[in-house]
Structure formats: structure tokens, C-alpha cells
Structure 1
Amino acid sequence: MPTDRLILRRPDDWHVHLRDGAMLKAVLPFTARQFGRAIVMPNLKPPVVTAADARAYRERILAALPDGFAFTPLMTAYLTDTTDADDIARGAAEGVFAAVKLYPANATTNSAHGVTDLCKVEGVLERMAGIGLPLLIHGEVTDQSVDVFDREAVFIDTVLAPLLERHPTLRVVLEHVTTEEAVTFVRSQAASGRLGATITAHHLLINRSHLFQGGIRPHLYCLPIAKREKHRRALVEAAISGEGPFFLGTDTAPHTVIAKETACGCAGCFTAANALELYALAFEKAGALDKLEAFASLNGPRFYRLPVAEEKVVLERTPGPVPDIILLPEGDGVLPFKSGETLPWRFAGGV
């Protein structure tokens, strides 16, 4: 008999984009409604580089939080060629920074200030390894001669593996993994306990062919881009395995409809509107609803050395629609992933 009700410890989102200003106010309630904590990405304009930047951004997030929500934003520093290791260490000691984010320069949205050469940040990485502060990596090479569908696999071989060898105690999260090669590599490091991987809901549900079904689908375009079906299956198998290195990170990335539906559209899928329902859909398709709690609620806190949530939340088998659009005050809006479709699960709140 299929279950009609799922009770989970309240999950956390270990990779979220909240933006700022009006966009922050529009999208934050969706994340805060379902998740107790979230690792907040620092790629604003200008980016969140220093501890002072992160404190100010955290205050803006908390000010935008609707009344009655118990939500903790976990702040990250945007790593640049000139990042101050002392500032990062102070920010970590004072509870400001939960991690540092590495964007290879120009790899994705708002990454122009990212690292151009890892040699320039070796001192920062050594300091982070010494204090146990995790490095979160957008794992793609930016060499334009490398096919966009191969950039994650090439990054693992040419950048990540050597990085881990140079810094044997550095704790790393390979963000939004999309390939069979990434799953295999993360598993190869499992015994060390220092390499984790987030998996998004959209990468569990779509492959690269979905981007072109009936025409170009700009709202399915994200970076790293969705890959072949064999890679999607590898991600599903990893997510439902219950293995500790794999945990939930939506990489929900809101962009306006105008910014997506244009000659050079922005990369990112907005999944926050129905995040847990989407993960439940993927796990149910794989016949593994009983493994959702480990992936969504247990593995992430353990990697980040944080307590597992005591509060429980409920998902009910009650079909419900995904919102057509999230309107913004200036008149544009954000189109949720699977906009206008009906999902078989509904988030019913705490219990």
C-alpha cells in the first residue's frame, strides 16, 4: 500500500539563492516555510566578500522574514583572488561564516569576481583547513574548448582531485552534482568524511532532452546544465542510497521571466515554491520514499557538524498545483519549476 503521509525531521537546504531587495522578500518565504536552515549563496551584486558584508546580508534576510517563521540563514563568503584569510577566520570564529564559496571566474551567474587561479587562494584554503571551515565548490571548468556537458567531469579530474591532495584536511562540498563521474568520485572519498555533495530536485527529475521538448525551454536552463539520462539515474541512485556524503541542496535560483526569456537567458531553476514536493516526487518514482529523510534531514547536518532538527514536518498525498508565477512589485515575476503543473504531494507544515 502506498503511503499517504510522510513525517520527516525538518529538512535544511544546503544551497539556496535568496538574492536581495524585492526578490529576497518575494522568494524567502518559500524556503523559510519548509526548511529550518539554509546555506545562503553570496553571489550578489556586489558579492558578499567580507564578514561585514555577510553580517549585513544576514540582517536583511532576517528583516525580510515573515512573522512566525523560525528560519536560520547560514552565511557564506564569496572567495576572490584577494580574499583576506584573517577576515574569513574571524568571521568563522564569530559565527558569521558557515562556509566559503568557490566560483571559478565566469563559470555561472554573478561569478565574474570568482577565483581566476587557485594558486592565488592557497593561503586562504590552508587557513580554512586548519579551522574546519568547509569550501563549497561550483565544480565546472571555464575553458571554452571544453564542451559544456563535460565541464564538471573535467573539473573533477583536473582541479578537484589535485586540490584534495594538496589540502588533505580541507572539508569540501561539491555543489549541485550532475554526473555519474561526480557520484563515483564522491564515493571514492567517502571514507575520509571530508567530501560531500548536494543534489538538486531538478537534476533528479530532468535530463538534457527536457530542455528541448517541443522547443527551447529556458526555465529548465541551469548551470551546471542537465546531462544525459544515465547521469540523472546515477544522481537518483546516489540520493536514495542514504549514504552520508549526499544531501539536499536545491540551488533554487530565481530570475525574472524577462531575464530567462531573452536572447541570452540567465541560468537557474526556481524550485523553492515546491521543493520538498519535488524531492518526494523523485524519491517516489524511484520507490524510495523511506530514504527521503536521510537525504533531506540527516546527512547535511552531520556533514556540517550541526544538530539534526528535532521538529517534524509533514508531506501529504494531496495533489496540488505549482504556482503559475511569483509576482514581483515592479510587475515582472519568477516562473517556478513545473509552473502550472500538479504535484502528487503537498507540504502540510510542522507537526
Structure 2
Amino acid sequence: MTTLTIRRPDDWHLHLRDGDMLKAVAPETARDFGRAIIMPNLVPPVVTAADATAYRDRILAALPEGADFKPLMTLYLTEGTDPADLAAAHESGLITAVKLYPAGATTNSDSGVKDINNAMHILEKMAEIGCPLCIHGEVTDSHIDIFDREAVFIDTILDPLRKRLPDLKIISEHITTKNGVDYVKSADKNLAATITTHHLIINRNHILAGGIRPHYYCLPVAKREEHRRALVDAATSGDARFFLGTDSAPHTDPNKLMECGCAGVFSATNTMSCLAHVFETEGKLENLEAFASLNGPTYYGLPVNTETLTLTKQGTPVTFPAKIETSTDPVTLFDPGFPLYWQVA
């Protein structure tokens, strides 16, 4: 197969940042994707409906003229979130979901939830009105090994939450472990998971073996090869509970390369080429549309895009820019470590 046409894909987990960075990276997503769930971890975070409205307007203003792209806004869950404001934002269609960050789990998460019991009244309201909850599924206890934090979160936070609120629709975002895959597979309703482009391709050796490679450093951190294989099997299987959320997260090179470098992989520009490579390698190219274009909107209860996107395979490697320029410093594009032959037509 050298040509593949699918429904236009969506990105169900995306960081666009703000200001000059937003203007630089938003066109990279809008080129290929019809919609994206926009992460709310700005400084300050997107906590209220008014915040979401203002941020949505800034995103739309940053898009190229004529771009056909819809940002799907989220609110940043805090223990002080106003349930009435959240419900009104969801009912109006302003927000598509709410994001739970355990405090300190990742970039700009200090305002997140310290004790989930303190947010339970908000989560109960979300279950009542059918508002999905996107979860960064890691515990932040310093005594828990960073490679175990996802598995511990499932056992100590996620599973008890689902038993307490079985009607709450949950997306376990950017899963990185076989534990995460198996837990989603065990659920009969109201649980799905996003998988990133880079976690389908890299394991922890890519970050640490032969020298530290900061542009592969992300949170949740990449795990052992057995976990990467579980992610690939889940993503390429066609199982409707797994879909694409790139977690494309731009940081300028100085912020990635500093003594305490930022976590995040920027992959918006070449994600579809990377995915086509992975799915073709697995002999599952026919399932790419389900993962990238169908499963996400189905779970969220949204219509599938009517537009299409065509990928073509060429005989020589596709050339992508190594970096995306911003008004200050560049952002390095994810390098899968192998040549890519599929490109968006």
C-alpha cells in the first residue's frame, strides 16, 4: 500500500501554550488535525469559564487564515473549582472536558489537586452532567519510584475513584505502561486511554543509554520496552478504548537543555508520518483510522470529521524541519530515530 485515505484525525491531548509560543506551534497542529483537546495548564491555569473563553479566542486568533481547526477547551480542576461554573461551561459547549493534574505531577501542575477527596463534590457533579474527566495518572509521592508512579496511581487513586463514581466518564491520558493498557481493557464502560506518538516509539533507553537525551524526556517518562510493546499492541489493535493524544508539548531548546530541563516532546508536525510508520511496521495500517480519527470522537460523543486526510508513501525519506522557530528560541521536533517515508499529501 502506498496511499491511505482516512477521516481527518483529531488530537485528544495537546499543549499549545500561549503568547508567542502559541502563535508558532498552533499552525503545526491545524495543518493535519480537525480538532484537539487543549490542555489548560497555563500560568495562571485555565480554571473558569471566562478563562476558557479568553484562551479559546487567543488560539483562534493564532491560527493561519482559513484554517479549519476547532480547539476543544478544558478546565483545570482545582479543589476550589466552582461546580456551577463548570456545569454551565459544559452545558453551553464551551468546554469538552475537565483535566485532573495531581499537584506537582508535570509542567505547571502546582495548582492541581493535592487530595482527591477535596474535589469529590466537583467530580460528582461532573458524573451527574456527563462531563468527561481527563486524568494525568501518576502519583507524586517522593518515595514512589518515577517508573512506578502510573501503576501506583491506578491502584490507589483511579480504581477507587471509578468504584466510587462508576458513571464518571474518564480518559486515562498518555498511558505508558502495560498496567495502564490492561486496566483499560478490564473496564466495561466509562474508561478509555490516549496514547502518544512518542511513547509508541521510544523506551527509557532512548533517554538514558549512551548519554542523556533531553528532547526525549517527558512526563510520564518512557518505560521499559515491554511497556512500549503493550502500547503499540493496544494502539494498533483497533480497540475503541484507545485513541491518539499526542501530548505534543513544546518547550524552547534553552528550557529543555537547562540544568533542570522541562519535560515534554513536541511532535505535532510529524505525528501522522510517525504513526503510519508504526502501524505499517505492525501490519496494521488499516487500523490507523480507528486510532487517529474514529475512536476518540466516538468515546467523547462527538461526530467524526467529514473531511479526509491522505497519506502517501514515497521512495525517499520525508524531510521535516529539525526545529520550529519562535520569536525567541527554537523548539526541537521529535526525532523518531528512523527515516519516515509516509507523508500527508
Pairwise TM-score range, normalised by the shorter structure: over 0.9
The share of aligned pairs that are identical, in percent, is 59
Would the aligned equivalents of 1:320 and 1:343 in 2 still touch at CA under 8 Å?
A: yes
How far does residue 313 in structure 1 lie from its aligned partner after superposition?
0.6
Distance (whole Å) between structure 1 residues aligned to residue 59 and residue 277 of structure 2? 29
Which residue of the other structure, out of 196, 205, 223, is the alignment partner of 2:192? 196
**Counterpart residue type for residue 314 of structure 1:** T
| Residue aligning to 1:6 | 4
Shift of the alpha carbon at 1:262? 1.1
**1:163-206 Cα shifts (integer Å, max 9, x gaps):** 001101000000000000000000000x22x1010000100001
After TM superposition, the structure 1 = structure 2 runs for residues 146-161 of structure 1, keeping only pairs within 5 Å, are: 146-161=144-159
Give the drift of 1:322: 2.4
How many pairs are equivalent? 343
Deviations, residues 210-255 of structure 1 (Å, cap 9, x unaligned): 1124311000000000000000000000001111110000000000
- Does residue 313 (structure 1) correspond to residue 294 (structure 2)? The answer is no
The 8 Å contact of residues 274 and 336 in structure 2, kept in 1 or not, is answered as: no
State how far apart, in whole Å, the 2-side matches of 1:261 and 1:148 are. Answer: 20
Question: 2:41: which partner in 1?
Answer: 43
Q: Find 2:344's aligned residue among 336, 342, 347.
A: 347
Structure 1 stretches of 5 or more lacking a match?
Answer: none
Contact 1:177 1:199 in 2 (8 A): yes
**Matched AA of 1:216:** I
Match for residue 330 of structure 2 among 295, 309, 333: 333
Q: Which amino acid aligns with 2:237?
A: S
Q: In 1, Cα distance between the equivalents of 2:331 and 2:113? A: 29
Show the counterpart of 1:256. Answer: 252
Q: Which residue of 2 aligns with 1:215?
A: 211
In structure 2, relative to structure 1, the CA distance for the partners of 1:14 and 1:337 (3 Å cut) is: same
Asked whether the 8 Å contact 2:201–2:336 carries over to 1, the reply is no
Matched, 1:127 2:147: no
TM-score for both structures, normalised by structure 2: 0.98
Report Cα offsets for 1:135-183 as digits up to 9, x if no partner: 0000000001010000000000000000001101000000000000000
Equivalence map 1:4-153=2 (5 Å): 4-153=2-151
Q: Which residue matches 2:278?
A: 282
* Two-structure CA RMSD over aligned residues (Å): 1.0
TM-score (norm 1): 0.96
CA distance in 1, matches of 2:192, 2:338: 32
Distance 2:257 2:162 in 1: 39
**Aligned mates of 1:108, 1:241 — CA distance in 2:** 29
Deviation at 1:327, TM superposition (A): 1.1
Tell me, which stretches of 5 or more residues in structure 2 are unaligned? none
**Shift, 1:342, TM fit:** 3.8
**Structure 2: distance between partners of 1:250 and 1:36:** 14
In structure 1, what is the Cα distance between the partners aligned to 2:61 and 2:172? 30
Residue 341 of structure 1 deviates from its aligned partner by 6.6
Write out the 4+ residue segments of structure 1 that deviate beyond 2 Å after TM superposition: 339-342
**SS, match of residue 321 in structure 1:** coil
User: Using the alignment, how far apart are the partners of 1:9 and 1:107 within structure 2?
Assistant: 34
| Matched AA of 2:118 | K
The residue identity in structure 1 corresponding to 2:107 is T
Q: Distance in 2 between matches of 1:11 and 1:328?
A: 26
Counterparts of 2:297 and 2:49, CA distance in 1: 23
Structure 1 counterpart of 2:267, from 262, 271, 278:
271
Q: Retained in 2: the 8 A contact 1:201–1:282?
A: no
Which residue of structure 2 aligns with residue 293 of structure 1?
289
Amino acid at match of 1:345: W
